[in-house]
Amino acid sequence: MVAIAKPCLGVEEKEAVTQVIDSGMIASGAVVEEFNHKFSEYIGVKHGIATSNGTTALEVALKALGIGPGDKVLTTPFSFIASTNSILYAGAIPLFADIDPKTFNIAPDKMEDKLKKYRDIKALQIVHLFGQACDMDAIMTLVKKYGLLLIEDCAQAHGALFGNKKVGTFGDAAAFSFYPTKNMTTGEGGMVVTNNDNAAERSSLLINHGMKIRYHHDIIGYNYRMTNVAASIGLCQLKKLDGFNKRRNQNAEYYNKNINNQYVQVPYKQGNVYHCYHQYTILVKDGRRDDFTKYLSANNVGSSVFYPLSIPEQKCYEGMDIERDFPVTDKVKLEVVSIPVHPLLSQDELSTVAGVINAYK
pLDDT tens-digit profile, the chain (361 residues): 999 999 999 999 999 999 999 999 999 999 999 999 999 999 999 999 999 999 999 999 999 999 999 999 999 999 999 999 999 999 999 999 999 999 999 999 999 999 999 999 999 999 999 999 999 999 999 999 999 999 999 999 999 999 999 999 999 999 999 999 999 999 999 999 999 999 999 999 999 999 999 999 999 999 999 999 999 999 999 999 999 999 999 999 999 999 999 999 999 999 999 999 999 999 999 999 999 999 999 999 999 999 999 999 999 999 999 999 999 999 999 999 999 999 999 999 999 999 999 999 9
| Residue 91 within any structural domain of the chain | yes
Instruction: Output the domain CATH number for residue 70.
Output: 3.40.640.10
Last residue of a domain, which of 237, 272, 303? 237
Q: Indicate the pTM of the whole model.
A: 0.98
Residue 313: helix, strand or coil by DSSP? coil
Can you list the positions of beta strands (E) in the chain?
A: 47-51, 72-75, 93-96, 121-127, 149-153, 161-162, 165-166, 173-177, 190-194, 211-213, 216-217, 264-265, 273-274, 280-284, 336-339
Query: What is the model's pLDDT at position 196?
Result: 98
| Residue 21 within any structural domain of the chain | yes
Last residue of a domain, which of 237, 269, 301? 237
Count helices and strands (H / E) in the chain: 11, 15
Burial code (b: 16+ CB inside 10 Å, e: under 16) for 255-287 equals beeebebebbebbebbeebbbbbbbbbbbbeee
CA 96, 97, 103 angle in degrees (round to 5)? 125
DSSP 329: H
- Of the candidates 185, 202, 196, the one whose C-alpha atom is nearest the C-alpha of residue 151 is 196
| Residue 125 within any structural domain of the chain | yes
Cα separation, 330 vs 80, in Å, equals 15
- Of the candidates 86, 112, 85, the one whose C-alpha atom is nearest the C-alpha of residue 98 is 112
CA distances from 279 to 24, 114, 305, 357 (A): 37, 29, 10, 17
Supply the range of the domain harboring residue 149. 11-237
Domain shared by 57 and 107, yes or no: yes
Rounded to the nearest 10 degrees, how much is the dihedral formed by the CA atoms of 67, 87, 157, 283?
-140
DSSP 337: E
Q: Please, what is the angle between helix 136-146 and helix 108-117, to 10°?
A: 10
Last residue of a domain, which of 237, 253, 279? 237
Query: What is the model's pLDDT at position 39?
Result: 99
Domain total of the chain: 2
